[in-house]
Amino acid sequence: MRFTDALKETGATAGLQVHRSHGTADAYVERLKRDNGKLLILTREAFEIPASRGYAAEVRRRVG
């Protein structure tokens, strides 16, 4: 299954794709972090999810 198809299977769960191989539900995002110029999403469970440049503007808009 392609990743974009898998994201469609999440139904009404608010979230977005943030990298070629990563996505996150809005409810689990704690904050954003910069590390050596890279944008990372920190989750409530303390995971760090990379956000690629192509998705960075949308991530910043939704997370703040």
pLDDT above 90 (res 63) = no
Residue-wise burial string across 15-50, b where 16 or more C-beta atoms lie within 10 A, e elsewhere:
ebbbbeeebbeeeebeeeeeeeeebbbbeeeeeebe
pLDDT above 90 (res 5) = no
Q: What is the CATH number of the domain that holds 55?
A: 2.40.50
Residue 24: the pLDDT is: 87
12-59 pLDDT per residue, tens: 888 888 888 888 888 899 999 999 999 999 999 999 999 999 989 999
Domain that holds residue 53: 3-63
Residue 16: the pLDDT is: 84
Residue 57: the pLDDT is: 92
pLDDT above 80 (res 7) = no
Residues 6+ apart with CB under 8 A from 64: 32
**Counted domains in the chain:** 1
